[in-house]
A = this chain, B = another copy of it.
Amino acid sequence: MKYNFYAGPAILPHEVIEASASAVLDFEGTGLSLLEISHRSKEFVSVMDEAISLVKSLLNINDDYAVIFLGGGASTQFSMVPINLLHAGRKAAYVDTGTWASKAIKDGKVYGDIEVIASSKDKNYSYIPKEFQINPDFQYLHLTSNNTIYGTQYKEFPVTDVPIVCDMSSDIFSRPIDINRFDLIYAGAQKNLGPAGTTLVIVKKSALTKSSGSIGAMLDYNNHINGASMYNTPPVFPVFVSMLTLRWLVKNGGIEAIQRKNDAKSSLLYAELDRNSLFYNSISREDRSDMNVSFHLYNTELDDVFLTRCKEAGCIGLAGHRSVGGFRTSIYNAMSIEGVQVLTEVMKDFEDSHG
């Protein structure tokens, strides 16, 4: 048995993987592979419709918002957000909570007037900045809800009248969202939603007031909305696997049930980290992520030995990102509580043998 703690592309439910492999061989009894069927076929149009409908129902998204699946990764949104939302003469506020937020800021500056109103760079992004003013004149406030590399997460979003734009790539579908707080949410699929190759965008239709003539067709959200995510050929297979993953989520009780499971997993792991004398977690306690748990050995000479122990127990993908070192445990929706139990047992045994 393997326990996959990769940060992304990441673990998917086993039944989703089996159904995906089966559709590659024969899609819905058509006698054709899902890979070679027209995206305009009624069978695939129904997949896209169901994927969009599942996103709306799981996250309680009302009709003020459009839901679209785009080709490619979330990083393209770092450009598309200011291109579509930020008007000349207006400013947008960004909070810098790490690598991905910084990349959003860099692209924001290419396309508009951007102000970084808060940052946790001073402590290597080990906390979420909270004490800052938000000028009501900002057109939007850009946040990164969960910081995969560091293991921080907004537990509450700032209270402000400025509409929030949020990169939720690594924690969407892990907990409820009050959609009315947001003008736009985006997320690359490859954590809680599906495999790499598609990006989900949820956008308030009334926020899209720019003239389309100034934006290339594929960079204009309106074209994708009007085309029901079929303005161009969509990434058929990644969308299909995402749809299956959303079905799995519904079958397993939806967002509230998965949040309870995610709480249980992260609580178990943080409790062991706080108890175990060999390890520590350097993230501000109230900002600890429920999706990515970063930790270190006090004695870094034991790093490789610990990784080997983990691997022997079937736990893989635990090396920390090079910018923070140590270890990182990604415990997305599809990770079982058993996986985390196995890992904490390894940590306990490691304390017994090296403590």
Contact = CB atoms under 8 A, between A and B. Distances in A.
Given A9-B236, A233-B73, A25 B36 contact: no
Contacts of A38: 6-9, 317
Interface in A275-302: none
A317 B107 CA distance: 42
B236 A237 contact: no
B24 A236 contact: no
Among A6, A110, A216, A231, the one with the most B-chain Cβ atoms within 10 Å of its Cβ is A216
B216 A79 contact: yes
Among A31, A35, A316, the one with the most B-chain Cβ atoms within 10 Å of its Cβ is A35
B35 A9 contact: yes
A71 B317 contact: no
A9 B107 contact: no
Q: How many copies does the complex hold?
A: 2
Interface stretch (A12-20, A52-60, A124-132, A133-141): A12-20
Interface string A54-76: 00000000000000001111111
Interface residues of A, number: 64
Contacts of A83: 216
Given A110-B216, A197-B197, A238-B237, A20 B6 contact: no
A74 B235 CA distance: 12
Contacts of A254: none
Nearest first, the 3 A-B pairs at minimum CB distance are: A79-B216, A71-B72, A197-B235
Given A11-B36, A17-B33, A71-B196, 7 more contacts: A8-B38, A70-B72, A72-B235, A75-B217, A107-B217, A110-B215, A235-B235
27 contacts: A4-B36, A6-B36, A6-B38, A7-B38, A8-B233, A9-B35, A9-B37, A11-B36, A17-B33, A17-B35, A20-B24, A21-B21, A21-B22, A32-B316, A39-B196, A71-B235, A72-B72, A72-B235, A73-B233, A74-B232, A75-B218, A75-B232, A110-B214, A111-B216, A188-B233, A195-B236, A196-B236
